[in-house]
Structure 1
Amino acid sequence: MAAAVGCTALVLAVTGAASAQPRSADPARQVLAAKDGWGSYGTGTTGGARADAAHVYTVTTWDAFKAALADGGTAPKIIKVKGTIDADGPSCSSFAVPGYDFDTYLKTYAPETWGRTKNLDGEPDNSPEGLRRASQAKQDAYIKAFVPANTTIVGIGKDAGFKGASLQIKSVDNVIVRNLAFESPLDCFPQWDPTDTADGNWNSEYDSADIYGGTHVWMDHNTFTDGDHPDSTLPYYYGRIYEQHDGEMDIVKGADYVTASWNVFENHDKTILVGNSDSASTAAVDRGHLKVTFHHNLFANLVERAPRVRFGQVDSYNNHFVAGDGYGYSYGIGKESQLVAEHNAFTLPDGAAAGTILKRWNDSPLTADDNYVNGRLTDLIAVHNAQVPSEILQSGAGWTPALRTRVDPPQAVPGLVDHCAGAGHLR
């Protein structure tokens, strides 16, 4: 492929070193290289590389994709995705259960009627909220696809991907997902929570990829975007945006040993969670886990969570962050997080302060060395503390990453990542 040759040549020209990406005659049988991030730890990540001929599938429809996932149990399998597969279903109305009516929902739970001190969780099944829940459950069953252990899912060519799908990598080991474009699922039935902030909020479900207790996962050369449904196209009700998007990729509930490399995350609000709660029950599951590496990813035109980190040891290096309108922050420093953010490049527009790159949610020290903002070496912790003195951050994550194949100079990162990351650029 021309794009692949161009990226290989660019890596050689800029760094003087060959790409660290593994190679084989068939990209679907490539495995994560040794020492390539946390995903390579221990047994490593090989996905379906050992699949026999009976467990190699090429799919072009959502039904065929789900059937391929289910076939053969946990035997190694390779699923090749050809073209864009639509997982949205016929329409939102096709998921609505009898009796559900959005206008009735709005009238019933309007703040002037319902108030702002009680959420809707206790509403009975025959209430407007109960009918919303049942409708959402129908959509949930349709758009979620559960990935078994020992699976590789790879896009063929430059235009492979999913529209409205939610991949569930749930409590399984050894999964590879590569060269796919994901258009975020659109939740047809968000829930109104009048107690979420002083003004209330609409809360939605569905991530494009949900790594929920999964281990040894490699997400590589994928593109995640809101596509035809950016937040700017969404309506407002009760004075709040009718939010129909959740995250692009979440890593939660004791997930471990994940490498996310050469992906594009763009045009989204709440992008990536590593750990999803501060609660005691969640802490009991997450402590000692959530070991994740992000390298050579492009984070463009995002609002926040790139990622927001709780608990785990996260290594984030050689990424390019490009801020746009509505930019909030990049790294969220959460409870007991141990983030190492090094050798990254940040491109901020006029008026965006470098001190907002980091957002302190809890007092968790981090390491943030050798980062460049608009081409200048910048101490991210120092500028944050100077600009946000009410939320002082401490330096020193308490660990040193050892699982890195090659670290590029941060000045070269924008040229490398902007041209070579994302679906269609698999080398």
Structure 2
Amino acid sequence: MHFHKCHVRVVSLIGCASLALGALAAAPASASPSAKGKDPARQVLAANDGWAAAGSGTTGGADADASQVHTVTTWVEFKDALAKGGDAPKIIKVVGMLDATATATASGCAAFEADGYDFDQYLADYDPETWGYENPVSGEQEDLRDASAKVQSAAIKAFIPSNTTIIGVGKKAGITGASLQIKDVDNVILRNLTVESAIDCFPQWDPTDGSKGAWNSEYDAVVVYNATHVWLDHNTFTDGRYPDSAAPSYYGQLYQQHDGLIDIVRGADLVTVSWNVLKDHDKTMLIGNSDSEKVAEGDRGRLRVTLHHNLFQDLNERAPRVRFGQVDSYNNHFVATRGSVYGYSYGIGKESRLVAEHNAFTLAGHVDPARILKKWKDSPLTAENNYVNGRKTDLIAVHNAGVPDEQLTEGAGWTPALRTHVDHPACLPKKVRKGAGAGRLK
């Protein structure tokens, strides 16, 4: 294998060539997917482009009849379009920003409140000074909070059927306040959308969570749950108008209203996540959501995910955190700017087999490169040819030296074969910033 030269200090796309791997032929540097016609809504995942290309590949709704091509401008229209035609191939084109919290009578959290729910009364009823930390909350206000949460859940969750492509039209299309559920289905494409993470209007106070209690929230922006052949491409995922930094604290704990951006869980398999922007978030991406043996039965041999050419910017943790799966993470750009909160990027979990190669990290001075990796369980990984602030860095060696009580072992035990091309890491800061995210799909 050979990289063409790419200057480290002045990153230029000129001279940044792709690298063919094994028997694969090098694709053009843009890694454009194959297309059926000129409509980007009918583009399919290119051969060899990550785990979602395995087997039958991922085509989404590319074969949709004209009657199953829907253009939507509201959340109601979007959910109606999802329900039409069952699992027949369908394309849904999103125009503008769809607001999942808007109803005919109200917008935002007020639209979901059960009669009698009063947050100030909730805070008074379950104040640890009087309630304590030994028992879960219960009573009228907790029941009303739970009822309100059920109303929100029904309103903002959208279940995507098999053989579906959802694509934003133009540069300003997206969805706010929703949780997109790709659950128990096959062959789904999501592209060119700005997805503002849903806020949980009704987090639950759990006084038994840790020594000081915690607020627990629901709703991932995208959930891939026991689904196969899923391609997430050229999207932007963010907390948008509601960053955690602006959230208040109650009982001395952050009023947490966000969960994950992308969670790939419960037997999900054959997923490619490419050319996305994920930024300004805390718990970003789980691949495998539990260590429990009951869950492991459905996760072993699955959770095969490819991440490439994504921008992970100003994220606290889970970019991603991996359990069980064979995860190939290459050619991503990780950025932590000055003043950002940073915990770690890669979480090494139970029976994971992570390959993290040819990535670039641009880290402000407050971030120790030893923290890029985080050991949760003793699982081997491969981490080769990664660059930190323009210098080739052995992430495992740096971690083991800097965190001596969390020693990681080398060698994931498998070699990724489903890659169309690999860019030199020095080229990634410019290339990924220029090409990743919603509104840049060609």
TM-score normalised by the chain length of structure 2? 0.92
Q: Give the C-alpha shift of residue 113 in structure 1.
A: 1.7
1:335 aligned partner: 350
2:109 aligned partner: 92
1:171-186 alignment runs, 5 A limit: 171-186=184-199
Q: Give the C-alpha shift of residue 155 in structure 1.
A: 0.5
Identity %: 65
1:156 lines up with 2:169 in the alignment: yes
Q: Is the 8 A contact 1:11 1:19 kept in 2?
A: no
**Aligned with 1:116 (options 130, 133, 141):** 133
The worse-fitting range, judged by mean Cα deviation, of 67-76 and 11-20 is 11-20
Moved over 3 A (4+): 10-14
Q: Is the 8 A contact 1:221 1:421 kept in 2?
A: yes
Q: Classify the secondary structure of the residue corresponding to 1:232.
A: helix
Amino acid paired to 1:119? P
1:236 lines up with 2:249 in the alignment: yes
Amino acid paired to 1:92? C
Q: Classify the secondary structure of the residue corresponding to 1:284.
A: helix
Instruction: For residues 129-160 of structure 1, give each alpha carbon's deviation from its aligned partner in whole angstroms, at most 9, with x where no partner exists.
Output: 12111100000000111000000000111000
Q: Is the 8 A contact 2:329 2:354 kept in 1?
A: yes
Q: Is the 8 A contact 1:11 1:18 kept in 2?
A: no
Q: Is the 8 A contact 1:12 1:18 kept in 2?
A: no
The worse-fitting range, judged by mean Cα deviation, of 81-90 and 250-259 is 81-90
2:391 aligned partner: 376
Instruction: For residues 295-347 of structure 1, give each alpha carbon's deviation from its aligned partner in whole angstroms, at most 9, with x where no partner exists.
Output: 00000011000000111110000000001311110001111111000000001
**Aligned with 2:211 (options 198, 211, 225):** 198
Q: What is the total number of aligned residue pairs between the two structures? A: 414
Q: Give the C-alpha shift of residue 117 in structure 1.
A: 2.5
1:6 aligned partner: none
* Distance (Å, rounded) in 2 between the aligned partners of 1:252 and 1:11: 36
* Distance (Å, rounded) in 1 between the aligned partners of 2:15 and 2:68: 39
CA RMSD in angstroms, aligned pairs only: 1.2
1:256-405 alignment runs, 5 A limit: 256-324=269-337, 325-405=340-420
* Distance (Å, rounded) in 2 between the aligned partners of 1:298 and 1:211: 20
1:134 lines up with 2:136 in the alignment: no
* Distance (Å, rounded) in 2 between the aligned partners of 1:155 and 1:98: 37
Q: Give the C-alpha shift of residue 291 in structure 1.
A: 0.4
Instruction: For residues 83-132 of structure 1, give each alpha carbon's deviation from its aligned partner in whole angstroms, at most 9, with x where no partner exists.
Output: 11111231212211112111221122211222222233xx3xx6221211
Q: Classify the secondary structure of the residue corresponding to 1:394.
A: coil
Q: Give the C-alpha shift of residue 13 in structure 1.
A: 5.9
Instruction: For residues 224-253 of structure 1, give each alpha carbon's deviation from its aligned partner in whole angstroms, at most 9, with x where no partner exists.
Output: 011111111111100011010111110001
Amino acid paired to 1:15? A
**Aligned with 2:30 (options 16, 19, 28):** 19
1:222 aligned partner: 235
Structure 1 residues not aligned, in runs of 5+: 1-9
Q: Is the 8 A contact 1:12 1:19 kept in 2?
A: no
Q: Classify the secondary structure of the residue corresponding to 1:368.
A: strand
**Aligned with 1:165 (options 164, 174, 178):** 178
Q: Give the C-alpha shift of residue 386 in structure 1.
A: 0.4
Amino acid paired to 2:374? K
The worse-fitting range, judged by mean Cα deviation, of 16-25 and 227-236 is 16-25
